Structure 1
Amino acid sequence: MGSRVLVFLLILYVHVFDTISQTDPNDFAVLKSLMDIWENLPPNWKGFDPCGSNWDGIGCTKSRVTSITLANVDLKGQLSSDIPSLTELGMLDLSYNKRLTGSIPRSFGDLKKLTNLILVGCGLTGPIPDTIGSLQRLIYLSLNSNSFSGPIPASIGNLSNLYWLDLADNKLDGTIPVSHGTTPGLDNLVNTKHFHFGQNELSGTIPPNLFSSNMTLIHVLFESNQLTGSLPSTLGLVQTLEAVRFDRNQLSGPVPSNINNLTNVNELFLSNNRLTGLVPNLTGMILLQYLDMSNNSFDASDAPSWFSTLQSLTTLMMDSTQLRGHVPVDLFSLSNLQTVVLRNNRLNGTLDIGTSYSNQLQLINLQNNLIDAFTERVGGYNADSMTIILVSNPVCEESGEAKSYCMLSKLNSSYSTPPNNCIPIQCSSDQISSPTCQCAYPYTGTLFFRAPSFSDLGNTTNYVALQNSMVDSFQSHQLPVDSVSLSNPRKNNYLELSLDIFPSGQNYFNRSGISQVANMLSNQTLKPPSWFGPYFFIGEQYNKFSEAATGSNNSSSIGIIIGATVGGCVLLLLLLLAGVYAFRQKKRAQRATEKNNPFAHWDPDKGSGSIPQLKGARNFSFEELKKCTQNFSEANEIGSGGYGKVYRGTLPSGQLIAIKRAQQESMQGALEFKTEIELLSRVHHKNVVSLVGFCYGRGEEMLIYEYVPNGSLKDCLSGKSGIRLDWTRRLKVTLGAARGLAYLHELADPPIIHRDIKSNNILLDERLNAKVSDFGLSKPMGDNEKGQVTHITTQVKGTMGYLDPEYYMTQQLTEKSDVYSFGVLMLELITARRPIERGKYIVREVRMAMDKTKDLYNLHEIVDPVIVLGVLKGFEKFMDIAMRCLEESGVDRPTMGEVVKEIENIMQIAGLNPNVESATTSASYEEVSKGSFLHPYNSEAFEYSGAIEPSKIEPQ
């Protein structure tokens, strides 16, 4: 009866748990891994159900994570190669996190459903990986305002759905990639509207085939690069263009005449180049508003009369273009004209602005010309609203009377959003009075407009329109924004505006609010009035979060509360029923508890209870370890993983130690913890990491090891450690690891099966001697009735990629399971590849490529380039023993003792003494800057294991 009740309770519990939990387990595991490497995550990233609990920044569809939007939350860390395991991810926006550093992992190419990759204004560096070209669904690619270097990946040309491409404000160099043969290029992007490549270091000529009549480009922005050669005539074929910037390059030759065909262009910037020939006739550009061709080497010519035909013109900039003759008076009658700058030319005669000049005209600058007279009509012009500058012209040099136009003056372009029909109040602390006269902590930043169609920086009408459109946009998206304030307009290469965004309903934003507002700006959801042109935003760090306000909104919280209440009631009922059953089984439960928890009655201070049987390892107090790590300071953190963090410490004796501190979510059971420390305390071998002691208590599980300075073999092979292993050093590392594992199998008492051999668990000391570490999954070998060591039937545990298929299928663990893992490790040493990488299993790849009749067994394309250039003596025998370790059946694999002997023989073939240690000192190292249960590595398994960091699995 009791067992039936228990089964019923278990079934009911699982049903309730599945009902409450809404997050896919794999997606949850990825988010947990991000918690290990990112700092300053939202405080509500707690529990086991990100989708059901509405974690800030996480968007879900059903049980799958489909978006991560954590813009401007001060994330610290690096982009994780685990992110591509979120196979349903559609949007990733981590913009404005300046402490998000490192490079974009190549594995990001596996995010096959990604439509928006937005990483604006972070601290990212390195090249943009060519795998980005695999993101076939990508619509928005915004990587501007970082420090990316290297060339523009030609593979971007494969992104046929791309709408927005922004790589501006980086350190990209090289030429503009275009297609040739089977190689793609930017000319393939016929559906893309935006090419933003300004403020990089691009060089070479502009390929003529970059542009074609099939393209639908709106913005082509290549300003502030190092481009040379001529402007291709194919540019004139892109009839959809609205904004063109090639200024601040080194372009030469004439401007192609067919550029006049671009009838939709509003802004044309060709200044600061070396363009020659005649000033191009642009009468066909009927919508042209902003024209800047200053500082070029055009042929001397009269000021074109077609200037006055550009009825939409607001700004004419022709500084230093060798213009001569009279300035056409009709020019000033253009109704939208605001600015005319014709400095440093050879214009002469009389300046006459006529009587019907534009009422928007603010500036006429003809400094340093040959103007000898200025017609001042009756009533003159309003010098308060318009500035005329004729300094360094004969008209000023010959006049004895001080005229305003003969003095340099600076336009007053100040602006600040005024109060909205209210009286500003005096705010305390560092709060600011908003346009609605409320004291608050605004979210601040700078708006950059790359090609505005106006030049009147003090035009209130423009800013009011921008401000109103922004508030309307925020509020229509139901964001907690009350008002916005614009101020301090200034013109450098772009129009810049200071932006303050004020919260609604309270005087601060929470993290979710900031991230949502920042996301609207980073992914271009917010659309300013068209005359402001393309923009980008750089947000400043916001540090006024109120933790009390970081939870979800009320409407979503109600559902969570109701669900939690119902679930809690059901669980309470289950607990009551289970309590009755447990009371009836009290004595049995007590015995089981004492058996499975050796620390249940152990007081570490008194040494009572079932204390672990240790040999040479001591019990440290929490206070001791806290002191020797300087309160577990960040400076002493030397590693991290799913289990927790590793800290370097110094004992009072001066001995360096490594402290593995488990986090609460990953703490082992007491039995596993006891097993690990008892096993480690009994093993003593130079190729096995020594246990110094442990700490158990106060909710902590910590293991104290000898400090191994050169980190893991994985870090070394990946290049993270900066140590480069040549062939001979890899042989020595292989031998050391094999000796350590052979000791565990054949000489330890009792013998030990490690169960998790992998490159991350092989550490390298100061002489590059390999040491086997991490015994958290280890098992002592059992004896059968005849006293023979056979196998252990146990739940499958290990790391995907290294896992023995025979153990996986039979759940029978033997020492040959470690041998299989060691074989994978040997292939990893040869290739420097992870066991499972981009859906490919290293063992299968080697088997398919291997041909023993050819040199290096035909593995040239697989062998790590770091070693392939040298003479690989004994390589074939190395591969022979590795493949023997990888036999499907355990009985066909060698013992680790046999492996040791084989590697010793290989070293002798290579002319090495297997009994001599590696380098004398570390200073001598060469440095450089889901699934089928039939087989763990069949093709179906790659649906979940490809290109992700191998993780520990526990099939139920």
Structure 2
Amino acid sequence: MSTALTIYILLPLITITCFLQVQSQLQLTHPLEVNALRSVRTSLQDPFNNLRNWNNRGDPCTSNWTGVLCFNTTATDGYLHVRELQLLNMNLSGTLSPELARFSYLQILDFMWNKISGSIPKEVANITSLELLLLNGNQLTGPLPEELGFLPNLDRIQIDQNHISGPLPKSFALLNKTKHFHMNNNSISGQIPAEFSRLPSLVHLLLDNNNLSGFLPPELYRMPNLLILQLDNNHFDGTIPTTYNNMSKLLKLSLRNCSLQGPIPDLSTIANLGYVDLSWNQLNGSIPSNRLSDDVTTIDLSNNKLTGPIPTNFSGLSRLQRLSLDNNSLIGSVPSTIWQNRTFNATERLLLDFQDNMLSNISGSLEHPANVTIRLQGNPLCVVSSRLNITQFCVPQNGSVDTVGNSTISSTICLSQSCPEDYEYAPESPVPCFCAAPLTVGYRLKSPGFSSFPPYKSMFETYLTSGLHLEIYQLHIVSFQWEEGPRLKMHLKLFPKFNNSTNEFNNSEVRRIRSMFTGWTIPDSNIFGPYELLNFILSGPYKNVVLDFPKSGMSKGAVAGIVLGCIASSATLAAIITILILRRHMKKHSAPSRKRLMSKIPIKIDGVKAFTFEEMALATNNFDNSSQVGQGGYGKVYKGILADGTVVAIKRALEGSLQGEREFLTEIELLSRLHHRNLVSLIGYCDVDDEQMLVYEFMPNGTLRDHLSVKSKEPLSSAMRLRIALSSAKGILYLHTEADPPIFHRDIKASNILLDSKFTAKVADFGLSRLAPVPDFEGTVPGHVSTVVKGTPGYLDPEYFLTHKLTDRSDVYSLGVVFLELLTGMHPISHGKNIVREVNTAYQSGMIFSVIDGRMGSYPSECIEKFVNLAIRCCRDETDSRPSMAEVVRELENIWVMMPESDTTPSESFVTDATKSSTPPSSSSAMEAPFISASEVSGSDLVSGVIPTIAPR
């Protein structure tokens, strides 16, 4: 009565705990952040209802709230936290809520290209984790909060193209990690604080088109990493500080229309200066005669009060695209060496604008390449232009080197075909007439270091595609247009790879590409400068793609794992209590021995030896502790040496354990007729009196789980992991297709995959295995076996858990979880997190490489990405969506072939013609070559890893 009462009280408590655990997994976002999101939504106006799902009752992080991206794992407080708010270009208006401060883990705050008004809340400064503050392209007003200068991790502040007023806060000089100040096109007033010179990381200072005044701080030269100083269209006093020639890393100096006076400082000491615009000021004196950097593309000194001759130092500048000296008071001759000492390719152009000066002659030859445009109107030499034969230089001319450009697509050879609707020819594809669905991107270079784009087009294609991890042919520049700034606006199309069977990007790739643009993870370029994403248009097959990041809610597999874990915990606790009570009771009453009670099953199986207890005791030194190499709820595993010298693993069940005669006999019967190099071999058994033991071949490198543990001394390389995956899959394929009759394993997991001395993987533990269905009277083979659910939480097929229908795809699911363990090193279920859900979340958000196990060292990303894709397909909730084991083996073989030679040495490579079928390689295969020799493994690593079959799951 007391036993029943104990269980009656205990099980409801555990059930309630399970319910609370599942419930907690369904609502993971921190409550303060949920309320903050609702406050943000209340303060905004959303005419196109883009944030409609913010009004539902679902959890933000697990219900895919638009633009809300959360961390993949819970923090120490047990909650998920919002990592990014990506709300760009959604036609939102209204104001920014001070409740934004509640996002204490936020890294990216992105409201670009909306119509948001009001001021920037000072409370944003409480988000100490913030890295990107992106508010450009709105209607924000008011001053910049002083408090923003106390953001310790801010990398980029973009508030350009608003109506921000007031001074630049001196506190911004405290932003030690900030690399980008983009504050152009506002109404910021006052002087640039000299304290900015203390900014150690700043590379781009864009303050053009504001109302700044006062003197240019001479101290700015102390910024050690400044690349671009762009202050056009402000109202400064005084001169250009001579200290600016000490800006050793400066690439671009743009001070156009800043009311500056005095002489031009000598800038020849700046080694890599490529762009100088000092036009529309009141600079006087002569042009410095020292030669500028060979990297210079643009020199604009027009509309000043410069005097003296044109110096010869402009000759021989091989990258010069534009030299504008017009509207000054220059005298003397135009040196023809400026264009004569150049060699031009087909795309290069040189504009020489000398209009409206006092130039009287041209020195040297008048011959010039067609690539050169010379403008001389308004000079005395044009009065005698016909005599000098320079009439063509003296007519009115305007315009830049290039203003607009378009790329036309020639489809002459493709006229016999036509692309389906929403598809188009990929112009740069190596396969002619390749039809694909492109992604359309609006893109702008905010401060390029050149005046003519065509010479840099090829370089730009290489830069952008390598930054996006695409092939060059996947990018097509539809058009480009210079805008005021000057800024270069582009219309881009990105095409999928030509060998993509669907001719379109998958959802994960769309998200990945977009996140690289919005997260500014494309590396900076000196010549192209900072960029901005204007739009990312989805149409055709992409119009229903959810860009707002993947759902992180629990799948059926995760729920099943948690529930099964709770049930197992309940059963285990109940069993422990019952055993304790029975033992106490047995002390008081004599009981028949196990030997007298059990109905012994006689075993006589060909090929499997029956050992005596004495032989087992002798092999293990009477089961001495020094021989023990493993332990589980079923009992202990010993390393034994038989009389003939054979090293074996002996799994001995404890008396009183829950081992069933049926499982014991099942494993013996199955293993006695299964012979495959990727299945653990059964050597014999011992079944005498109260003892049950199984004798296996010894696996000196233990279990796969051992080697994925953080405690492992020798982490597995990517090639070793892929090899283990393929070997395991071949063992399971043998069970499914070549065993007679076929077998469903039912308990595939990392601790049931053992590694021999050469790290060859072998599948073990067949105690829960079931024979596959046999044909019925009509010859039809059922697709499943109906059976009670057994297995291990985290590896359990959710369909099998819910329907009790065991199929070959149930093993595929379990093996898929093992693949995820190989890729990430994670446990299937740990601290309430399910590996399938975690990897799916990372994969769908384009962040899959963030969860790859760093302990495997370097790896070929394309191979790993294909391996991830296969593992995820194996772990789909729906049975029919998973590949067969034969497909799994075939895909793994294909991935193995792709592995670089450095990762798969000839001794490791084992994909031969023999592996093109399900037949395993012979024992002489190169697969036998070890990755790590047995002598390199310490004694503590010699763990058998033979897995429990005694205790029911």
* Counterpart Cα distance in 1 of 2:410 and 2:467: 18
Give 1:233 shift: 1.2
Give 1:166 shift: 1.9
SS of the residue aligned with 2:336?
Answer: coil
Partner residue in 1 for 2:237: 252
Matched, 1:529 2:525: yes
Matched, 1:334 2:317: yes
The one-letter code of the counterpart of 1:470 is L
- Tell me if structure 2 keeps the 8 A contact 1:21–1:49: no
SS of the residue aligned with 2:25?
Answer: coil
Q: For 1:204, which of 165, 190, 195 is the aligned residue?
A: 190
Partner residue in 2 for 1:303: 287
The one-letter code of the counterpart of 1:22 is Q
Question: Could you report, residue by residue, the CA deviation over 1:567-587 in whole angstroms, capped at 9, with x for unpaired residues?
Answer: 8999999xxxxxxxxxxxxxx
* Counterpart Cα distance in 2 of 1:566 and 1:41: 33
- Tell me if structure 2 keeps the 8 A contact 1:51–1:65: no
Structure 2 residues without counterparts, runs of 5 or longer: 569-953
Compared with structure 1, are the counterparts of its residues 314 and 551 closer, same or farther at alpha carbon in structure 2 (3 Å cutoff)? closer
Q: For 2:157, which of 150, 157, 165 is the aligned residue?
A: 165
Partner residue in 1 for 2:176: 190
SS of the residue aligned with 2:235?
Answer: coil
* Counterpart Cα distance in 1 of 2:90 and 2:547: 24
Is 347-356 or 247-256 further displaced after alignment?
Answer: 347-356
- Tell me if structure 1 keeps the 8 A contact 2:407–2:478: yes
- Tell me if structure 2 keeps the 8 A contact 1:262–1:285: yes
- Tell me if structure 1 keeps the 8 A contact 2:447–2:486: yes
Compared with structure 1, are the counterparts of its residues 353 and 20 closer, same or farther at alpha carbon in structure 2 (3 Å cutoff)? farther
Matched, 1:370 2:358: yes
Partner residue in 2 for 1:693: none
Partner residue in 2 for 1:240: 225
Compared with structure 1, are the counterparts of its residues 13 and 161 closer, same or farther at alpha carbon in structure 2 (3 Å cutoff)? closer
In the comparison of the two structures, how many residue pairs are matched?
539
Matched, 1:474 2:468: yes
Matched, 1:280 2:265: yes
Report the TM-score, using the length of structure 1 for normalisation.
0.50
Compared with structure 1, are the counterparts of its residues 57 and 197 closer, same or farther at alpha carbon in structure 2 (3 Å cutoff)? closer
* Counterpart Cα distance in 1 of 2:136 and 2:486: 15
SS of the residue aligned with 2:513?
Answer: helix
Give 1:195 shift: 1.7
* Counterpart Cα distance in 1 of 2:509 and 2:31: 23
| Matching of residues 48-447 of structure 1 within 5 Å | 59-61=69-71, 64=74, 89=81, 91-178=83-170, 185-212=171-198, 215-299=200-284, 301-306=285-290, 308-354=291-337, 355-357=340-342, 359=344, 362-375=350-363, 377=365, 380-383=367-370, 385-400=371-386, 403-407=391-395, 408=397, 410=399, 411-412=401-402, 414-416=404-406, 427=419, 431-435=423-427, 436=429, 438-440=434-436, 442-447=438-443
Compared with structure 1, are the counterparts of its residues 215 and 564 closer, same or farther at alpha carbon in structure 2 (3 Å cutoff)? closer
Compared with structure 1, are the counterparts of its residues 24 and 321 closer, same or farther at alpha carbon in structure 2 (3 Å cutoff)? same
Give 1:145 shift: 1.7
Give 1:245 shift: 0.9
Q: For 1:453, which of 449, 454, 461 is the aligned residue?
A: 449
* Counterpart Cα distance in 1 of 2:435 and 2:459: 24
- Tell me if structure 2 keeps the 8 A contact 1:413–1:457: no
Structure 1 residues without counterparts, runs of 5 or longer: 67-84, 179-184, 574-956
Question: Could you report, residue by residue, the CA deviation over 1:913-938 in whole angstroms, capped at 9, with x for unpaired residues?
Answer: xxxxxxxxxxxxxxxxxxxxxxxxxx
Compared with structure 1, are the counterparts of its residues 538 and 210 closer, same or farther at alpha carbon in structure 2 (3 Å cutoff)? same
* Counterpart Cα distance in 2 of 1:121 and 1:432: 29
- Tell me if structure 2 keeps the 8 A contact 1:225–1:248: yes
The one-letter code of the counterpart of 2:141 is S
Partner residue in 2 for 1:927: none
SS of the residue aligned with 1:374?
Answer: strand
- Tell me if structure 2 keeps the 8 A contact 1:30–1:86: no
Question: Could you report, residue by residue, the CA deviation over 1:450-494 in whole angstroms, capped at 9, with x for unpaired residues?
Answer: 2222222222xx222322333333337x9x995453522324213
Compared with structure 1, are the counterparts of its residues 175 and 550 closer, same or farther at alpha carbon in structure 2 (3 Å cutoff)? closer
- Tell me if structure 2 keeps the 8 A contact 1:444–1:498: no
- Tell me if structure 2 keeps the 8 A contact 1:254–1:276: yes
Question: Could you report, residue by residue, the CA deviation over 1:141-172 in whole angstroms, capped at 9, with x for unpaired residues?
Answer: 22222211100111111123322222211110
Question: Could you report, residue by residue, the CA deviation over 1:475-534 in whole angstroms, capped at 9, with x for unpaired residues?
Answer: 37x9x9954535223242132232324353556668776554333212211225321011
* Counterpart Cα distance in 2 of 1:565 and 1:421: 54
* Counterpart Cα distance in 1 of 2:56 and 2:436: 29
Compared with structure 1, are the counterparts of its residues 428 and 24 closer, same or farther at alpha carbon in structure 2 (3 Å cutoff)? closer
| Matching of residues 726-765 of structure 1 within 5 Å | none
* Counterpart Cα distance in 2 of 1:5 and 1:319: 92
SS of the residue aligned with 1:316?
Answer: strand
Partner residue in 1 for 2:459: 465
* Counterpart Cα distance in 2 of 1:133 and 1:51: 23
Compared with structure 1, are the counterparts of its residues 46 and 503 closer, same or farther at alpha carbon in structure 2 (3 Å cutoff)? farther
* Counterpart Cα distance in 1 of 2:282 and 2:403: 31
* Counterpart Cα distance in 1 of 2:61 and 2:536: 29
SS of the residue aligned with 1:311?
Answer: coil
Partner residue in 2 for 1:818: none
* Counterpart Cα distance in 2 of 1:47 and 1:195: 39
Question: Could you report, residue by residue, the CA deviation over 1:391-449 in whole angstroms, capped at 9, with x for unpaired residues?
Answer: 22222232235633223265445544577999667556565433335445544343222
Partner residue in 2 for 1:494: 486
Compared with structure 1, are the counterparts of its residues 56 and 568 closer, same or farther at alpha carbon in structure 2 (3 Å cutoff)? farther
SS of the residue aligned with 1:216?
Answer: coil
Question: Could you report, residue by residue, the CA deviation over 1:341-389 in whole angstroms, capped at 9, with x for unpaired residues?
Answer: 11111122221221323645511111112222234628x2112x12111
SS of the residue aligned with 2:177?
Answer: coil
- Tell me if structure 2 keeps the 8 A contact 1:120–1:144: yes
* Counterpart Cα distance in 2 of 1:40 and 1:512: 21
Percent of paired sites with the same residue: 24
The one-letter code of the counterpart of 1:283 is S
- Tell me if structure 1 keeps the 8 A contact 2:67–2:549: no
Over aligned residues, Cα RMSD in angstroms? 4.4
* Counterpart Cα distance in 2 of 1:455 and 1:171: 29
Give 1:243 shift: 0.6
* Counterpart Cα distance in 2 of 1:431 and 1:473: 25
